[in-house]
Amino acid sequence: MTQVLNMTWSTTLTNTLRAGLTLVLLLTTSLPLRAELLIRITEGADSALPIAVVPFAESGAIPPGDTLADIVQSDLTMSSEFRTLSAEKMLSLPSQRSEVHFRDWRLLGQRYVLVGQLTRQGERLEARYELFDVNREERILGESAGAPLGNLRTLAHHVSDRVYEAITGEPGAFSTQLAYITRENVGDKVRYRLQVSDIDGKRSRVRLESAEPILSPAWSPDGSRLAYVSFETDKPAIYVHELASGKRTKIADFRGLNSAPAWSPDGKSLLMTLSKDGNADIYRMDLASRDLTKLTDHWAIETEASYGAGGDEIFFTSDRSGGPQIYRQKGKGEPRRMTFGSRYNARPRPGHKGEFVYYVHQGSSGFHIARTNLESGEETVLTRTESDESPSVSPNGRMLIYATRQGGASVLTVISADGGAAYSLPATEGDVREPAWGPLPR
């Protein structure tokens, strides 16, 4: 059942870009005090901080497969805020502070070095790790963490989170999970699968399989439940699925549409699109009482609602102007139209701090992911491929995952939330769609 997709990472950063960045860093190393400023200039959408993740010294029988350093490297690269140095290029392989020669790492153009040891103690793995700032010749992180023997990936993602936070000041999102839907033709039948995996696509598990469509997975704020739409009874209904127990509850099965579930920040209610009164409108359902509150009442289509970062406002799609556009609304108040840049803007997803709203935008060359600054109203188109859909922002607001097509194949792509370098998770069989980035673990 597991690992239905054979997922691999590929980088799209160009070699030219890397060469350019390395050159800048080599020049700056003679002026360490100004290095940070100079790096900031090249930072942003097209740049990344160089970090050497040195293979950890291992003791005891460590399970085979990807090493801890492999996983940390892959995580940091995925963020597009870092680029890593391959082990073959390293002049030494230190595993503790006394073995780190800053001059060597400076020569290699590295800004940070992560070293450590991985030890097996019975049925547990213990990692001790230290992160150094090469220019300042300082240790900026030194700690240890443990995990059960089979959870090397959990441990590695934790190390990635700690490294990310030590450098950027924002929590890492590498220990989070991804939910998505795959659609595959098996003979003359179609199989829809709701899957949950690590954020790098590894350790995927099928949570629901159906011959009928599954749509719109949405994480509860505590990460314990998924809401989604399933057509398994030959009509769309909304289900809430407890991941630990596998228990499912059908919570909305009204006449007509039951779609687009979105959790309230307190996890106690769901926004949803119902057409039981004849026409698609947005409702809020209290999960304990199942009481419904109708939030929009208009003859147009209203759908794809989600809460803003503060929880006091909703964003949704309405075609009341003649085509789908994004609106924001407080309570049951008057909605305000937000998008004007093209004739099709839909499925808004606010970023975690309420600075931006991300959505699907139709441009002259197809459907792209765009964002609008909520304060200034300025719109930026973040992607260039032609069938970009379903943006989902990481819980630290730094990355964005969306579904698109590459050479006819369906893939999930991760970019930095300001539109930086992209990394793709291809599905080798069928389609992969509707990624939903889970919350930070609690």
Name which of 332 and 343 has its Cβ closer to other proteins: 343
- CA 186, 189, 195, 199 torsion-angle sign: positive
Q: At closest approach, how far in Å is the CB of 231 from other proteins? A: 7
Q: At closest approach, how far in Å is the CB of 413 from other proteins? A: 17
Name which of 146 and 213 has its Cβ closer to other proteins: 213
Name which of 102 and 344 has its Cβ closer to other proteins: 344
Q: At closest approach, how far in Å is the CB of 305 from other proteins? A: 9
Name which of 108 and 282 has its Cβ closer to other proteins: 282
Name which of 207 and 433 has its Cβ closer to other proteins: 433
Name which of 92 and 185 has its Cβ closer to other proteins: 185
Q: How far apart are the first and last CA of the chain?
A: 27
Q: At closest approach, how far in Å is the CB of 386 from other proteins? A: 9
Q: At closest approach, how far in Å is the CB of 162 from other proteins? A: 36
For residue 422, give both structure tokens.
């992209």
Q: Provide the residue type at 232 as one letter.
A: E
Contacts of 367 by beta carbon, 8 Å cutoff, 6+ apart: 344, 360, 361, 386, 387, 388, 389
| Closest alpha carbon to 239 in 228, 223, 231 | 228
Q: At closest approach, how far in Å is the CB of 390 from other proteins? A: 7
Q: At closest approach, how far in Å is the CB of 348 from other proteins? A: 10
Q: At closest approach, how far in Å is the CB of 358 from other proteins? A: 12
| Closest alpha carbon to 168 in 131, 221, 202 | 131
Q: At closest approach, how far in Å is the CB of 75 from other proteins? A: 29
Name which of 122 and 322 has its Cβ closer to other proteins: 322
Name which of 54 and 360 has its Cβ closer to other proteins: 360
Find where tokens 């690992």 sit.
Answer: 3
Q: At closest approach, how far in Å is the CB of 367 from other proteins? A: 7
Name which of 203 and 235 has its Cβ closer to other proteins: 235
3-state secondary structure string across the chain: CCCCCCCCCEECCCHHHHHHHHHHHHHHCCCHHHHHHHHHHHCCCCCCEEEEECCCEEECCCCCCCCHHHHHHHHHHHCCCEEECCHHHCCCCCCCHHHCCHHHHHHCCCCEEEEEEEEEECCEEEEEEEEEECCCCEEEEEEEEEEEHHHHHHHHHHHHHHHHHHHHCCCCCCCCEEEEEEEEEECCEEEEEEEEEECCCCCCEEEEEECCCEEEEEECCCCCEEEEEECCCCCCEEEEEECCCCCEEEEECCCCCEEEEEECCCCCEEEEEECCCCCCEEEEEECCCCCEEECCCCCCCEEEEEECCCCCEEEEEECCCCCCEEEEEECCCCCEECCCCCCCEEEEEECCCCCEEEEEEEECCEEEEEEEECCCCCEEECCCCCECEEEEECCCCCEEEEEEEECCEEEEEEEECCCCCEEEEECCCCEEEEEEECCCCC
Q: At closest approach, how far in Å is the CB of 278 from other proteins? A: 8
Q: Which residues bind other proteins (CB under 8 A)?
A: 213, 215-216, 231, 234-236, 256-257, 259-260, 273, 275, 278-280, 299-301, 303-304, 317, 319-324, 343-344, 346-347, 360, 362, 367, 387, 389-390, 433-434
Name which of 167 and 215 has its Cβ closer to other proteins: 215
Name which of 135 and 275 has its Cβ closer to other proteins: 275
